[in-house]
Amino acid sequence: MASKSVEHSCCESESCCEAETKPKTSKENLWQSPWIPIVLSFVILFTAILAEEQMPFNVLGVNGWLFVYLFAYSFVGFPVLKTAWKLIRKGEVFTEFFLMGIATIGAFAIGEYPEGVAVMLFYTIGELLQHSAVSKAKNNIQALLDIRPDQARVIKAGNSSLVEPELVKTGEIIEVRAGEKVPLDAQLLSNGGTFNTAALTGESLPAEIKEGEEVLAGMVNLQDLISLRVLRPFEESSLQKIIFTVQEATSKKAKTEQFIRKFAKVYTPIVTYLALALVIIPYFIVEDYLFRDWLYRALVFLVISCPCALVISIPLGYFGGIGAASRKGILFKGSNFLDSITTINTVLFDKTGTLTSGIFSVEKVESLSNASADWTELAASVEANTNHPIGQAIVRHIKSKLSPVDSLKEFPGKGLEGQVNSRRVLVGNSLLMEDYGILLPSLVTDPNKTAIYCAIDGVLCGYFVLADELKPDAKEAFTSLRRLGIQQLLILSGDKREVVDALGKELKADEAHGGMLPEEKYAKIEALKKDPKNVVAFVGDGINDAPSIALADVGIGMGGMGSDLAIESADIVIQTDQPSKVAMAFKIGKATKTIVWQNIALAFIVKFLVLSLGAAGLAGMWEAVFADVGVALLAILNAIRINYLFK
């Protein structure tokens, strides 16, 4: 099948695609279904085969059943001939439509009427099933459109009104009732909620989201009425980005797919000339040469050689891979990256926001003997006035009622000073305490944790020990990648070396490098890539990760909490922010590649065998139909199998 004619396959035929051009009533669907011509052709063909021997008749000296077979042929053959003619006028002569047209017309010319109709009939059935399979694969991708909410309930001055999500502005308040989809990315204002995120992430378990956390468009509210504040316009929502990314992905072809399309453009004219040679050359070398016999062999050769199985099933395999990945919250920005990920043998991870949540939690609170009883509440009162993740973690940990802060002074990179109930409260790291001359006991410091101290009126009262939480599936990610054959797993982070070393040991990484600047991460990837044996993937989420993501052979971005620049630079986006989905992306890529190459092997082996038999006169039109349509259908069934492997 030639390159362009693949897109034309079936859809150039009015009988195949008319059903998609406009909405139809059920009655119109019945009579305009593309299956109606096929059914009519089959009934007429079957009737003619049964009746021809019993009731022979002539019309104008010609076998009268010829006209019946032509009538059966017209339903399935004329649309194909029409398409072939259109493509010939465009300069595309050697297409599968041309091959089938020549083969079936030739069959009629030598009196093989039933076979001429049967070949075109089964070819049309195969094309229709191929078209249906491709449409289903694309529809699985386009199913994302079905989760796009149609309206948003905006609250203004105590009144609610339904508007299109595209018209809602950032900062507006919306409400979502139980069972409704969240229309835009928003911050949860209610106490908490439970959401079905399956449409976005593929996760079957409901997600618990707390007050102040982000809720994404497309999630379904499972509990009571909730209120949300819109964070970004609809066109910038996570859902809209997913839809756009997946739609764009289908236009970026894998190398295998590009090669097969180019191959088909060369292959089709070659087999046409070989078929012609199969008629002419034997005339000079075969003693009992019969033109009819050798023409029949050539026609069989043409039917067998049609490359439909290759050119349809291969893109179908990639469509399936992209669709399966999107349902798991993994966005491949092109089928070429489904191929590329299978070659990776070295994976580098950023730490904060990638392997860890980027959300600090208080692990321990230590009070000194001379501490004020309320020092933790005073510290939390001061930290409540900052958006820093450490301050937010302290506020979350201290559940007591907070006091108002009369004055507040911030020291970037050190901490805060505030006046609370006429008391001077210092909350910060060791640098802030040193600036105020407050001595810290040596036993307080823990190199693998973050210590935040609190002093009241110049007296050290105690400290908080905080840590960035390791994502629950980080260990699973490393274990799964090892099982998939990844040879090197590295962690690159700007965090303290001691912290990164400890994390590397916990995850059993081959290397763990802390204290790295963005340019140092970039240099590390460059150094690895100088060795041609290393094929590198980098997984990150921050703005500073974007250069490394772009440099890697495959860049993987964490799309939930990640920066826009990192996501834009990435070839693959993990929408759920789960590192274990990196391993899932590898699995889907490998499964897709396996299925594609299975289809290539199946098509070549069967076609080669039947071509050889056809050239030797040992295979007829029926075997040719199997080699063409049968192999195509087997390849299609194999291609759609990926949808069931990753449900």
The residues with which 62 forms a beta bridge, in sequence order, are 59
Strand positions, DSSP E, 124-210: 152-156, 159-163, 173-176, 186-188, 192-196, 207-210
Kindly list the catalytic residues. Answer: 350
DSSP, collapsed to helix, strand or coil, labels residue 489 as: strand
Residue range 178-207, pLDDT digits in tens: 888 898 989 999 888 888 876 665 555 677
Phi first, then psi, for residue 220 (nearest 5°) are: -110, 125
Q: What percent of the chain has pLDDT over 70?
A: 82
CB contact set of 374 (below 8 Å; sequence gap of 6+) = none
d(CA 632, CA 118): 16
The residues with which 462 forms a beta bridge, in sequence order, are 367, 454
- Report the pLDDT averaged over residues 477-494: 94
DSSP, collapsed to helix, strand or coil, labels residue 107 as: helix
Give pLDDT, residue 14. 34
In the predicted model, is pLDDT for residue 114 greater than 90?
no
The residues with which 540 forms a beta bridge, in sequence order, are 557
- Are 339 and 589 spatial neighbours (Cβ–Cβ below 8 Å)? yes
d(CA 349, CA 525): 11
How many residues are listed for the chain in this entry?
A: 647
Tokens of 363: 């692990």
pLDDT-derived band at 2 (thresholds 50, 70, 90) equals very low
Helices (H), 308-428: 308-327, 335-340, 375-383, 389-397
Nearest to 80 by CA among 98, 62, 53: 98
Q: Pairing state of beta strands 488-492 and 511-513?
A: parallel
pLDDT-derived band at 16 (thresholds 50, 70, 90) equals very low
Q: Who wins on pLDDT, 430 or 313?
A: 430
State the CB neighbour count (10 A cutoff) for residue 388.
14
Phi first, then psi, for residue 31 (nearest 5°) are: -90, -15
Residue range 612-634, pLDDT digits in tens: 887 777 777 777 776 667 777 78
Residue range 391-411, pLDDT digits in tens: 888 998 997 788 999 999 988
State the CB neighbour count (10 A cutoff) for residue 499.
22
The residues with which 176 forms a beta bridge, in sequence order, are 226
The gap between the terminal CA atoms of the chain, to the nearest Å, is 32
Q: What percent of the chain has pLDDT over 90?
A: 27
Give pLDDT, residue 7. 38
**Which pairs with CB-CB distance under 8 Å and at least 24 residues apart come from 97-103?**
97/5, 97/8, 97/12, 98/272, 99/268, 99/271, 99/272, 99/302, 99/303, 99/305, 99/306, 100/302, 100/303, 100/306, 101/77, 102/272, 102/299, 102/302, 103/299, 103/300, 103/302, 103/303
Phi first, then psi, for residue 44 (nearest 5°) are: -65, -45
Residue type, 325: A
CB contact set of 434 (below 8 Å; sequence gap of 6+) = none
Orientation angle between helical segments 96-109 and 255-280, nearest 10 degrees: 20
| Residue carrying the six token digits 């099948």 | 1
The residues with which 573 forms a beta bridge, in sequence order, are 331, 557
Q: Which domains are assigned to the chain?
A: 3-143+248-320+591-645 (no CATH), 169-232 (2.70.150.10), 330-356+471-590 (3.40.50.1000), 358-470 (3.40.1110.10)
Nearest to 572 by CA among 347, 363, 265: 347
Taking the model in full, what pTM does it have? 0.63
Nearest to 405 by CA among 390, 391, 423: 423
Give pLDDT, residue 383. 92
CB contact set of 273 (below 8 Å; sequence gap of 6+) = none
- Are 466 and 452 spatial neighbours (Cβ–Cβ below 8 Å)? yes
Give pLDDT, residue 424. 95
Residue 386: burial class (beta carbons within 10 Å; 0-12, 13-18, 19+): middle
Give pLDDT, residue 1. 35
Give pLDDT, residue 382. 95
Phi first, then psi, for residue 385 (nearest 5°) are: -95, 15
Give pLDDT, residue 486. 95
Residue range 317-370, pLDDT digits in tens: 887 888 788 878 888 887 788 889 999 999 999 987 789 877 788 888 999 988
Nearest to 579 by CA among 486, 470, 492, 449: 470
- Are 100 and 123 spatial neighbours (Cβ–Cβ below 8 Å)? yes
CB contact set of 419 (below 8 Å; sequence gap of 6+) = 405, 406, 407, 408, 425
- Report the pLDDT averaged over residues 107-111: 80
Q: Which of 13-17, 227-231, 321-325 has the lowest mean pLDDT?
A: 13-17
Q: Which of 276-290, 298-312, 421-435 has the lowest mean pLDDT?
A: 298-312
Residue 487: burial class (beta carbons within 10 Å; 0-12, 13-18, 19+): middle
As a 3-state breakdown, the chain gives helix, strand, coil percent values, each rounded to 5, of 55, 20, 30
In the predicted model, is pLDDT for residue 24 greater than 60?
no
Q: Residue 465 gets which letter from DSSP?
A: E
CB contact set of 236 (below 8 Å; sequence gap of 6+) = 185
In the predicted model, is pLDDT for residue 138 greater than 70?
no
Looking at every residue in the chain, the average pLDDT score rounds to: 80
d(CA 199, CA 537): 27
Tokens of 303: 């039917």
Tokens of 341: 């990920």
Q: Residue 352 gets which letter from DSSP?
A: B
pLDDT-derived band at 264 (thresholds 50, 70, 90) equals low
Give pLDDT, residue 634. 81
In the predicted model, is pLDDT for residue 591 greater than 90?
yes
Residue type, 196: N
- Are 337 and 326 spatial neighbours (Cβ–Cβ below 8 Å)? no
Residue range 433-465, pLDDT digits in tens: 999 999 887 755 555 577 889 999 999 999 998
Maximum mean pLDDT: which of 527-541, 550-564, 589-603: 527-541
Phi first, then psi, for residue 69 (nearest 5°) are: -65, -40
Give pLDDT, residue 566. 65
Residue range 53-66, pLDDT digits in tens: 788 888 777 778 88
In the predicted model, is pLDDT for residue 8 greater than 60?
no
